[in-house]
Structure 1
Amino acid sequence: MSGIKVVFDARRSWAKAGAPRRFTIDTKTRGGFSPNGGASKANIAGEVQTSKERLGSNVDILYIHAPDANTDLEETLSAINEVYKSGFFERFGLSNYQAEDVQKVYDHCKAKGYPLPQVYIKEIIQQLRGSKSSFFSPLCRANIANDEGVTKADLAYRWMRYSSPLKPEHGDAIIIGVSKVEQLKETISSINSGSLSENAVKRIDQVWETIKHEAPLDNFHL
């Protein structure tokens, strides 16, 4: 399934429903998920223009969906800077970037005076917290959820809320991903139901300790 296409197609419906006036909207450029220079200046400009036309509004966060090894970093980031100066987005985000690549982007942007990446779809929470960043975590795929009597989504959200290194006092937060209002209500209800059992938390920690040296940090580097 083309996730990008699904998002693009949905934007027309969001715009017609007045969503940009009622919600905070984020969007992405394909970056390395698109062949032949997906993070080139021309591609970024074209995808941003498509978003403008279909959303009919500016956005909060503009992500590069994955690193593009075929495009010079300066070309990519100077294009992002031009879009930023146009007022289309407030914050710059990186998706599916490994730690060393995040650092390269951050250093380049800082040296050039470009908008600094503030949102990373990463699991390196404590390492990057000082940059005032946001983080997303993938759903846990294990039998733990079944034994706990909850869905995989419930397991992931409740672990992040009550047992992960996320700290509200540091400005950390969980971004909920839903496609329906009913799903949003169910997710909030699940999170509010409290922490997982001690046994479930221990099993999750054990799974991570077993695979952390081999587990990919994102979908792009599988």
Structure 2
Amino acid sequence: MAPKAPVKIILGTHTVGDKTANPGIVHWDEPKDVQALLDTFYGRGYRYIDTASNYPNSEERLGQAGAASRFTIVTKVRDGIPGSHQPAKLEASIKQSLEDLKTSTVDTMMLHVPDRETPFEDIAKAMNEAYQKGQFKHFGLSNYPAAEVQKFLDICEEKGYVKPSVFEGHYNAIYRSGEKELFPLLRKHNISFYGYSPAAGGLFSGKAGTSTTSKRWDSDASITDILAAAEKHGISGHAAALRWTAFHSILDGSYGDGIIFTASNLDQLNKTLDAIDAGPLPADLADAFSVLSANTEGHSLPYHL
């Protein structure tokens, strides 16, 4: 297979914000700590940051650190409850995000999760108006099923609105259902894909999981084989899973695709970037992931909400 273009490496910042408002999730709150996170990521040569209005005070902390002056920012409107995408609420959310980030525009503004009570026609119109004001360069969708992505595309085509050009969804060696129903649509319309949880959480850490997803796969022989192959090469299971998503999956930088990861401390950040910098996996380890792919056929987990 011909080498693919490198994917974007995007720092997710749901761990940046107010520790009191989001205990157990936020690890970067104090200005000096947020600055250290951004300086380290920048110093390693990476320039993309993903955030959201729904992450308590994340945009505000990034704004205080001047992130928009040196990073490409991807953010998402406040949503999660029915009616949150009503035009007036979208307008207010976008305005607040820009104020918190201390910028007049961002690269990408996404609808974070579907609001199925507000007509998609109204949502598309409101996003187009914000685009026409120059508040963002790219309209994005996150966590939508393919059929609803198509619906937005149809509306935008008919009305002459800005079309979605970026999609953010769950994707890794376990969450691959989008490869059949979503990716053909994205490729057809030149829509980039940003995958979050690229290392499948702690599933490949070798530690028994507590979530339903982890329990389903903890005893899977193909995962055991992956961990054994990774150990032979001195690669952690987590790093192997991350590198598979970055270098061996359907993701391709020539389409503008990227992976989003988070870090709870600087050591974890550097180890993640070290894994990415190591490049593609050894052939036998990549082959072990191919076996896992065959085993997930028919029951791969969803990419949308």
Q: Please indicate, yes or no, whether the TM-score normalized by the shorter chain is above 0.5.
A: yes
Q: Deviations 1:84-134 (Å, cap 9, x if unpaired)?
A: 112110001111111111111111111111111001124434542232222
- Structure 1 residue runs of 5 or longer lacking an equivalent are none
Which residue of the other structure, out of 168, 172, 180, is the alignment partner of 1:121? 168
- In the aligned structure 2, how far is the partner of 1:215 from the partner of 1:96? 16
- Residue equivalent to 1:14: 62
* Larger proportion of helix: 1
Q: Does 1:74 align with 2:121?
A: yes
| C-alpha spacing 1:198/1:126, structure 2 compared with 1 (3 Å) | farther
- Residue equivalent to 1:56: 102
147-156 or 59-68: which moved more?
147-156
183-192 or 51-60: which moved more?
183-192
Q: Does 1:44 align with 2:128?
A: no
Q: Deviations 1:64-102 (Å, cap 9, x if unpaired)?
A: 112222111111111111111121100011111111111
69-78 or 122-131: which moved more?
122-131
1:178-197 aligned within 5 A: 178-179=262-263, 183-197=268-282
- Residue equivalent to 1:174: 258
Q: TM-score normalised to the size of structure 2? A: 0.62
SS in 2 for 1:35: coil
Contact (CA 8 Å) 2:53, 2:78: kept in 1 or not? Answer: no
Question: Could you say what the CA RMSD is over the residues aligned between the two structures, in angstroms?
Answer: 2.7
- In the aligned structure 2, how far is the partner of 1:63 from the partner of 1:86? 16
Which residue of the other structure, out of 17, 23, 41, is the alignment partner of 2:71? 23
1:182-221 aligned within 5 A: 183-218=268-303, 220=305
Q: Which has the higher contact order (CA 8 A, sep 6+)?
A: 2
Contact (CA 8 Å) 2:111, 2:140: kept in 1 or not? Answer: yes
Q: Which amino acid aligns with 1:89?
A: F
Contact (CA 8 Å) 1:126, 1:165: kept in 2 or not? Answer: no
Q: Deviations 1:191-213 (Å, cap 9, x if unpaired)?
A: 23232243433332333333343
- In the aligned structure 2, how far is the partner of 1:95 from the partner of 1:195? 27
Percent identical residues: 29
| C-alpha spacing 1:206/1:127, structure 2 compared with 1 (3 Å) | farther
Which residue of the other structure, out of 157, 160, 167, is the alignment partner of 2:245? 160
SS in 2 for 1:135: strand
Q: Does 1:35 align with 2:81?
A: yes
- In the aligned structure 1, how far is the partner of 2:138 from the partner of 2:299? 31
Q: Which amino acid aligns with 2:186?
A: L
SS in 2 for 1:166: coil
- Residue equivalent to 1:86: 133
* Larger proportion of strand: 2
- In the aligned structure 2, how far is the partner of 1:207 from the partner of 1:109? 38
Number of equivalent positions = 217
